[in-house]
Amino acid sequence: MTDHHSDIDAVTGRSTTGHEWDGIKELNTPLPRWWVITFYLTIVWAIGYWIVYPAWPLISSNTTGLLGYSTRASLAVELANLDSVRGEKMVALAAAPLADIEKDPALLALARAKGKTVFGDNCAPCHGSGGAGAKGFPNLNDDDWLWGGTLDQIMQTIQFGARSGHAKAHEGQMLAFGKDGVLKADEIVTVANYVRALSGLSTRKGYDAAKGEKIFTENCVACHGDGGKGNPEMGAPNLTDKIWLYGSDEATLIETISQGRAGVMPAWEGRLDPATIKAMAVYVHSLGGGK
């Protein structure tokens, strides 16, 4: 600051702040009083926030504020509101016969939306977010179903699972023909090639088709059926189609036959409410492969 007496700008006649840059002095431009008052009011308002809302961090917690507000509690309220809004629609979904849901565009949209969310939360870890599956976990978009692809069958599988320990679960598994000593190593190779031949895949040189058929008839037909067409009652896959849960190469087939397979689908009854399971059945069915 320089001498205040000289701090009057000669051109405008106004006082200056005394700040100077390269000979240019800053004029003192007073703020409007309402502006200053508003500024102080915002400070007071902010103090009000400290009092009514959570504000100051303490060592292990924070001040909670008089209103007792928390984002978590607010989320719970929002979710409860959402449930009450959706409640009526979910009641309609629960009441509708399973077969009719896909015929009603509004119910179908609701079931698909609900099903997609629940699928993402519960099923995606194994089946993938779009139900594309992985080795050992079926692709739910295709038309090949271990336990049947009708709406009722899909719903039953979701409800009770497969080898889940639930009393009503699908049972039956691929036996370990090698490990249990039922088939010898060369027999396993032969029947693996026979199975490849069933769906038109190439076979090993010198493979004996007649021997393969004999082994297959004696050991596999009971579950996989004549000609290997599969049986959804037993969860025995169709061996003549182009879809393979674990893989169709010879090595994988040998592994499957000698070690057996028994993948587990958990039961969802009791973990998800009936309307949700219904929505999920419709969602899975509507992915495209449903029968």
Partner 1 sequence: MNKTVNPNELTSDDDNGPLYVAQKKVYPQSISGTFRRIKWGLMALCLGVYYFLPFVRWNRGLGAPSQAVLIDLPNSRFYFFFIELWPQEVYYFTGLLIVAAIALFLMNSVGGRIWCGYLCPQTVWTDLFYAVERLVEGDRRERMKKDKSSDPMKLERISEIVLKHSIWLLIAWWTGGAWVLYFNDAPTLVKELVTFQAPMIAYIWIGILTATTYVLAGFMREQVCTYMCPWPRIQAALTDEWALNVTYRYDRGEKRTSVKKAAELRAQGEHVGDCVDCYQCVAVCPTGIDIRNGPQMECIQCGLCIDACDNVMTKIGRPKRLIGYDNDINIQRRQEGNAPVYRIVRARTVAYSAIIAVIGGFMIYTLATRSLLDINVLHDRNPVAVKLSDGSIRNAYTVRLLNKSGYDRVVAIDANGPANATIHVVGVDSVTPDRPMVVIPRDSTSELRLLVTAPAESNPEKSIPVRFHVTDIGLGEVAAATDNFVAP
Residue 18 is a binding residue for partner 1 (CB under 8 A): yes
- Per CB under 8 A, the list member of 64, 74, 81, 129 interacting with partner 1 is 129
Evaluate whether 169 touches 161 at the Cβ level (below 8 Å): yes
Residue 117 is a binding residue for partner 1 (CB under 8 A): no
H or E element in which residue 167 lies: none
Residue 248 is a binding residue for partner 1 (CB under 8 A): no
Residue 71 is a binding residue for partner 1 (CB under 8 A): no
Evaluate whether 155 touches 285 at the Cβ level (below 8 Å): no
Q: How many CB atoms lie within 10 A of CB 144?
A: 16
Residue 112 is a binding residue for partner 1 (CB under 8 A): yes
DSSP 3-state of 21: strand
- Per CB under 8 A, the list member of 122, 141, 203, 219 interacting with partner 1 is 141
Residue 201 is a binding residue for partner 1 (CB under 8 A): no
Q: How many angstroms separate the CA atoms of 116 and 112, rounded?
A: 6
- What does the block give as tokens for 277? 């399971």
Show contacts with partner 1 in window 271-290 (CB under 8 A). 286-289
DSSP state of 6: G
Q: How many CB atoms lie within 10 A of CB 24?
A: 9
Q: How far is the CB of 55 from partner 1 (least distance, A)?
A: 27
Residue 266 is a binding residue for partner 1 (CB under 8 A): no
Q: How many angstroms separate the CA atoms of 54 and 233, rounded?
A: 59
- Per CB under 8 A, the list member of 90, 115, 139, 160 interacting with partner 1 is 139
Evaluated on CA atoms 224, 232, 139, 142, the torsion sign reads positive
Q: Name the region of 202 (left: φ>0; alpha: ψ -120 to 50; beta: rest).
A: beta
Residue 28 is a binding residue for partner 1 (CB under 8 A): yes
Q: How far is the CB of 47 from partner 1 (least distance, A)?
A: 22
Q: Taking contact as CB under 8 A, which single stretch among the options 26-34, 59-67, 212-220, 268-276 is the one that binds partner 1?
A: 26-34
Residues near partner 1 (CB under 8 A): 4-5, 7-8, 12-18, 28-36, 102-103, 105, 108-109, 112, 128-132, 139, 141-144, 238, 241-243, 286-289
